[in-house]
Chain A
Amino acid sequence: MALKTESFALNIGPLHPSTHGVFRMRAVLDGEVIANMEPVFGYLHRGIEKLAEERTYTGVIPLTDRLDYLASMSNNLAYVLAVEKLAEISAPERATYLRVILAELQRIASHLIAVGAFVNDCGAFFTPFLYMFREREKILDLFEMLSGQRLLYNYMRIGGFNQDIPDEFLPALQKFVSQMPGFIDEYDRLLAENEILLARTKGVGILPQDLAVNISASGPVLRASGVKWDIRKADPYCGYDRFEFDIPTGTAGDCYDRYRVRIEEMRQSLRIIEQAMKQLPSGAVKSTVPYLVRPPAGEAYAHIEAPKGELGFYLVSDNSIAPYRCHIRAPSLINLTALRDMTVGWKVADLIVIFGSIDITMGEVDR
């Protein structure tokens, strides 16, 4: 006699502790197993692309802060690079190096949250999360020293920075850079060989290499699937070709690989910061840029390797003081394309883990 069963729909989110914001997944469950899953977007849509059309080029920078609010510096960087490409402005050498330092610091801060929240999604009771927050706090202190802000920095400007770094910054950064490898080792001691974490993440939520490329995944999600593609190497900006670093890749493309890739990327970021600090030239941090930037009519696309993946800005100018069109290529959104493929057939608990391993920020997904 066959047991009569019935699948049921479960709304995960938009208000749920593990959706990293206001994401919603409409899951159809067959017992504990996900039979179907549909992501629902848009709960944090603020129309930033439309708002950007009504602001001056400089005035858009605060809006970019609010995209991936865990990596504001990276957003600033991608946007100012796009404007600089459009208006054919180049930033001074010192500003370029500083941008590298800040972008890599921001990557560490963002990966710390990503890994911490991911382990939390696996069910750890906040301990790894708070360990990682301790180091993120130090990075935020560094950023506060520069910009007076702890989350939405609004520090980069078209053609450089609005002000030079204070004298205390470099010694503080040096201290952080020398301490941080020890802390990363500490996370590894707690997590890397943890039997339960391995059981929960190894082989779970596999994103095969061909699918990862096909869905335009980028960042750690793509690299965990074994594709050695990093815009810092493939299409260097800000003089990344001057630094020595490796691209960590995974092999299986499962949740564990995505977690490992992030940890290894933090170590590589520290290497880059150390080199950039050694080579940091003196001089101005801002080139001469008119108060209202008026780029010639045309278009430009600039992309950077943001912590979540390839963050690109596509700007169209009509020679006015505001962008005619400002499109944001949001890695968080595009990485979610294969969420259904990765989760169907796994259990509810795995859905949360897989979703956490992709590492998204709702501000960037919904814009």
Chain B
Amino acid sequence: MTLALSGDEIAATLGGHFPGSVIEASKSHLLVKSESLFDIASYLKTAPGLDFDFLCNITAVDCFDYFEIVYQFTSLKHNHGLVVKARCHDRSNPVLPSLVSLWRGADLQEREIYDLMGITFQGHPNLKRIFLWEDFDGHPLRKDYL
């Protein structure tokens, strides 16, 4: 069984390395500040005992007040997983750091979120629309897109 790591315990570890970066931690997930997302992700990728070498899934949820971006990290080595979330409160120009330089698996998934949800990933090497055409107006998965 893939062990779902508790966000609380990881938050305790992270608190030492990145003070103030964790906003909220629960059993199911870990909510981090979007500015420190990249640092935390690179720590999670290499930290011994964690070794999250596999970025399983990225998705974004439009919660009206903010966008919630959900990362599911898995470690093939230890067979455990962790859900990390980050939020973008600026609706007009939501920005997050891109994780492509850590996991290339993020490449197409971030492009998909950029296309359908309109979140810009800074540092993405090829951030352009993936499913819709270049001059498409709006981002269909947003709740205010009709």
Contacts and interface: CB of A to CB of B under 8 A. Distances in A.
A334 to B, nearest CB: 6
B108 A336 contact: yes
Contacts of A50: 116, 140-141
A245 B46 CA distance: 32
Interface stretch (B6-14, B34-42, B56-64, B90-98): B56-64
A295 interface: no
Contacts of A124: none
A310 B108 contact: no
B1 A337 contact: no
Interface string A299-335: 1010100000010101010000000110101000110
Contacts of A227: 76
B131 A214 contact: no
Contact of A42 (B57, B70, B133): B133
Contacts of B133: 42
B56 A215 contact: no
B23 interface: no
Nearest to B55: A216
Interface string B115-140: 01000000000000111110000001
Contacts of B62: 325
A211 B103 CA distance: 9
A78 to B, nearest CB: 12
Nearest to B56: A216
A236 interface: yes
B72 A301 contact: yes
Given A49-B116, A213-B54, A235 B1 contact: yes
A253 B70 CA distance: 30
A367 B76 CA distance: 27
A213 B53 contact: yes
A366 B57 CA distance: 16
Contacts of B109: 216, 333-334
A69 interface: no
A312 B56 CA distance: 9
Given A236-B1, A329-B56, A214 B132 contact: no
Nearest to B107: A337
Contact of A324 (B53, B61, B106, B108): B61
A338 interface: yes
A327 B58 CA distance: 9
A16 interface: no
Contact of A314 (B53, B57, B103, B141): B57
Contacts of A329: 56-57, 59
B104 A327 contact: no
Contacts of A234: 1-2, 79
A325 B1 CA distance: 26
A134 interface: no
> 9 tightest CB-CB pairs across the interface, nearest first?
A216-B105, A235-B2, A327-B59, A42-B131, A45-B131, A329-B57, A325-B61, A215-B105, A215-B104
Given A214-B105, A227-B76, A329-B59, 11 more contacts: A49-B141, A214-B53, A216-B56, A216-B109, A217-B105, A229-B76, A303-B56, A310-B56, A314-B70, A316-B61, A325-B61
7 contacts: A42-B131, A216-B105, A229-B76, A234-B79, A333-B108, A334-B109, A367-B131
